[in-house]
Amino acid sequence: MTATTAALSAQGVAIWLDDLSRARLATGDLADLVAQQDVVGVTTNPAIFRSAISGSGAGDYTADIRRLKAEGADAERIVRVLTTDDVRQACDLLHPVWEATDGQDGRVSIEVDPRLAHDTDATTRQARELWTEVDRENLLIKIPGTQAGLPAIRATIAAGISVNVTLLFAVDRYRQVLDAYHAGLEDRLAAGEPIDRIHSVASFFVSRVDTAVDPLLAEHHDAAAAELAGTAAIANARLAYAAFLDTADSDRWQALEEAGANPQRPLWASTGVKNPAYPPTLYVDELVAPGTVNTMPAATLQAVVDGQAVTADTITPNLDHAREVIAQLSELGIDLEAVTTDLEAAGVTAFEEAWTALLSAVDGAA
């Protein structure tokens, strides 16, 4: 454990790695990150799997692809086998963390086919299939937080399956996700089933908000707008945390907690900076608060290790400032609701394209 990662853990921030590949598993790299840099979870997405299986690490999968093709498996089945195998191995590696944290961390995520993002029933079915196929209690099933995803989240939680809700950009949608999580727990309780082993995180995407808003600010060509560059994403995420705190104080949550429920923690995703002018740890340092998760790409994690330790909550004392930033954006005519709606649609499309490209690469592999 390094001083910087230890400081984050002391503030109640769980560090997860936003990357997974067979090479990380086979070389012991992931095990080293867990042992030395306080990594206590792993997230994946279609783009990560595309990079792992059809990018520089493609050779690690060649033998399995050939074997599965010889057995008659199509590209869809091959990708399912490869991804679930990697996730299962990562779950086994992180199982001691899962045990030590009573199921809160030591989690590994796998996403339903992104092409199902607008199909509630198909998403729900595949969530159950993946849960059964991986067969590890420290798994998280990633379900997009689209409108169609909300009832799928509720049904999956009610079935006793832990969920990572992904592709969240808007605070209002995050509130709907919290409601879906609570409703799923209530459904399970009503069926006489336990809820104490169910865990969930809500992946709130950060950097892409600045990527979308900063060009809109630049169009104003004035100092006031320029000063807001690089502030929208952090303000938006901080207000999501405020929604988390509001929920924690509600009578509804208190009743669920008394029945054994675990809170759905906010997870900061897309925390690698896209603008090289910004500090590489911007979306880590400015989003420190108890009960949160920050999933980082490897480069961001290394920047955190090499940087300055954050030893205080940087969200809660700055909630009023976050509200001011959002108000100033509105005064400039920047419609954050429209921005986040577009980002959700673009995120779904990007993951669909990554998945389709992965299938094509596997189909064309020797």
- Catalytic residue positions, numbered: 142
Torsion of CA 243, 248, 250, 255, to 10 degrees: 140
Q: Which residues contact 35 (CB under 8 A, 6 or more apart)?
A: none
Which runs of consecutive H residues, i.e. helices, occur in the chain?
Answer: 3-10, 22-26, 29-36, 46-54, 62-70, 75-100, 120-134, 149-158, 171-190, 207-218, 223-227, 232-248, 251-258, 282-285, 298-306, 319-331, 336-364
What is the per-residue burial (b if ≥16 Cβ within 10 Å, else e) of 205-226?
bbbbbbebbbebbeeeeeeebe
8 A C-beta contact, residue 266 and residue 241 = yes
Q: Looking at this protein, which amino acid is placed at residue 114?
A: P
Q: How long a stretch of residues is the chain?
A: 366
Q: Which residues contact 178 (CB under 8 A, 6 or more apart)?
A: 202, 243, 244, 247, 264
Q: Which residues contact 48 (CB under 8 A, 6 or more apart)?
A: 18, 19, 20, 21
Question: How far apart are the C-alpha atoms of 199 and 138, rounded to whole Å?
Answer: 9
